[in-house]
Amino acid sequence: MSASANWTISSVRDALTAKKVSARELTDDYFGRIERKNSELNAFLTLSKDRAYKQAAAVDGLVAKGSSLPRLAGVPIAVKDVLSTEGVRTTCGSKILENYTALYDATAIARLEAAGAVLLGKTNCDEFAMGSSNENSAYGAVQNPAAPGRVPGGSSGGSAAAVAANLAVVSLGTDTGGSIRQPGAYCGIPAMMPTYGRVSRYGLVAFASSLDRIGPFAQTVRDIAEVFSVIAGWDQNDSTSANVPRPDYVADIDKPVSGMRIGVPDEYFAAGLDPEVRTKVEAGIALLEKIGCKRVSIRLPHTDYAIATYYIIATAEASSNLARYDGVRYGLRTNAATLSDMYRKTRRNGFGAEVKRRIMLGTYALSSGYYDAYYLRAQKVRSLIARDFAEAFGQVDAIVTPTSPVPPFKLGERTADPLQMYLADIYTVTGSLAGLPAISVPCGKTPEKLPVGMQIVGPHFSEGRVLQIANAFERAGGFAI
């Protein structure tokens, strides 16, 4: 077993069944890789060795008995540290939760483990998932394994880096305004944000509840479909989870895509798009045409308002969700003479600069006298953005865009200017506001060898179709255009 072996879910299954490797050996191998590489990458914050070896032993027990193996048996996985894990530290990349251990498992993790997956540990992320570069983590930045010296993207930077560096076969991230798709693009791997409500948010520490979603990173689109098939579906513990029928995403993945109408929005190829990113995404669209898709030019006229709308709604919801970290209920407490001083000092010491900025912005947008001018207006524009997409999907089956306007930037390059950082979310926040599913797939590299991502967006609950297009693209060689 080579230390750089590129395992996939099906190669793990085959090797276990043929007894070429045991789940225990595979787990050892992955912890060995993490040991060798994590000090440089900083992708993992906490390892869950006891839990991993217990699960590996259970899988090896099934193999020994000759029982049929569950779908993800023995597959080493990593999860973003905003997902609750019983008995394992859950920091959300924040000092305020440095010593917090969750009391229960997030539904998505419970489902992965019930399907036999081996949880290696929790991955680094921007504090409370607020960021686009992973530089807002209280535990330090993450290196991009595909572009040394550059950011891995954020906020799920650790989950993307772990898979890109082969420190886990698949991982989970969360996406509120781009945090799965953008790090997927920057690290050169596929990554999917499902439809809002498709995957239970139970056990996901809330950032902006009307936008937050959980989804997978993997090396292949097929593995994305495998993981998604396990985590998707209704959950009685999440009142916003949708009770809609679920196809078998893996069984349908090779269906032909010829004849599909692909919408290309003018607004996404305008000023601000890096020319090298444009060249690669155009080449990606040309490849889709070559395999039978039809290119259709479309308009999404409210795109210009998306960043402002997203940053009002997301910060408003965050200011409310983060009120619970008060030194009484969770994590850090800084003692002081009076109760209000204790609240203040705890929050001052526990939260980083970006989180504080957003709490202030969100509190302002929700305060009396400003609510109508900011929050309510943002909600109205959100409906207009969603309507743009609904109209476009009257003409096309899916929409193709760049994932990010720029390739991965240098560590430290944008930290001084938060607005500049926010602007890089332009192509991802729109689908977030509209609740749509979207996958980012690699579409080659710039001449400087920086990964570029292409985004495929579909109508609500059309993940099957989005995965088919992404899979056809991968099989046609699109990842390495």
Residue of 179, 229, 321, 440 that binds ligand GLN (CB under 6 A): 179
- Taking the least distance from each CB to ligand GLN, the nearer of 31 and 311 is 311
Binding mask 282-301 for ligand GLN (x = CB under 6 A): --------------------
Reduced 3-state DSSP string for 169-185: CEEEEEECCCCCHHHHH
Binding mask 311-330 for ligand GLN (x = CB under 6 A): ---x----------------
Options 155, 200, 404, 440, the catalytic residue: 155
CB of 131 to ligand GLN, least distance (A): 5
Site for ligand GLN in 188-217 (CB under 6 A): 207
Query: Exposed, middle or buried, 120 (CB in 10 Å: 0-12/13-18/19+)?
Result: buried
Binding mask 399-428 for ligand GLN (x = CB under 6 A): --------------------------x---
Options 48, 84, 159, 179, the catalytic residue: 179
In angstroms, rounded to a whole number, what is the distance separating the alpha carbons of residues 395 and 390? 9
Options 22, 48, 80, 171, the catalytic residue: 80
Point out which span in 12-20, 175-183, 293-301, 403-411 binds ligand GLN (CB under 6 A).
175-183
CB of 148 to ligand GLN, least distance (A): 22
CB of 155 to ligand GLN, least distance (A): 4
Active-site residue, 404 included: no
Tell me phi and psi for residue 297, to 5 degrees. Answer: -80, 130
Active-site residue, 65 included: no
- Taking the least distance from each CB to ligand GLN, the nearer of 268 and 310 is 310
Point out which span in 177-185, 224-232, 385-393, 403-411 binds ligand GLN (CB under 6 A).
177-185
Residue of 93, 157, 177, 405 that binds ligand GLN (CB under 6 A): 177
- Taking the least distance from each CB to ligand GLN, the nearer of 204 and 472 is 204
CB of 438 to ligand GLN, least distance (A): 12
Q: Are 59 and 16 in contact (CB under 8 A)?
A: yes
Residue of 107, 124, 176, 321 that binds ligand GLN (CB under 6 A): 176
Q: Which residue is nearest to ligand GLN (CB)?
A: 179
241 binds ligand GLN (CB under 6 A): no
Residue of 12, 130, 250, 406 that binds ligand GLN (CB under 6 A): 130
- Taking the least distance from each CB to ligand GLN, the nearer of 178 and 327 is 178
CB of 134 to ligand GLN, least distance (A): 10
Point out which span in 49-57, 171-179, 229-237, 287-295 binds ligand GLN (CB under 6 A).
171-179
Point out which span in 172-180, 228-236, 247-255, 259-267 binds ligand GLN (CB under 6 A).
172-180
- The size of the interface with ligand GLN (CB under 6 A), counted in residues, is 13
- Taking the least distance from each CB to ligand GLN, the nearer of 105 and 175 is 175
- Taking the least distance from each CB to ligand GLN, the nearer of 175 and 223 is 175
Reduced 3-state DSSP string for the chain: CCCCCCCCHHHHHHHHHCCCCCHHHHHHHHHHHHHHHHHHHCCEEEECHHHHHHHHHHHHHHHHHCCCCCCCCCCEEEEECCECEECEECCCCCHHHCCCEECCCCHHHHHHHHCCCEEEEEECCCHHHCCCCCCCCCCCCCCCCCCCCECCCCCCHHHHHHHHCCCCCEEEEEECCCCCHHHHHHHCCCEEECCCCCECCCCECCCCCCCCEEEEECCCHHHHHHHHHHHECCCCCCCCCCCCCCCCCCCCCCCCCCCCEEEEEHHHHCCCCCHHHHHHHHHHHHHHHHCCCEEEEECCCCHHHHHHHHHHHHHHHHHHHHHHCCCCCCCCCCCCCCHHHHHHHHHHHHCCHHHHHHHHHHHHHHCCCCCHHHHHHHHHHHHHHHHHHHHHCCCCCEEEEECCCCCCCECCCCCCCHHHHHHCCHHHHHHHHHCCCEEEEEEEECCCCCEEEEEEECCCCCHHHHHHHHHHHHHCCHHHC
Binding residues for ligand GLN (CB under 6 A):
129-132, 155, 175-179, 207, 314, 425
**Residues forming the active site:** 80, 155, 179
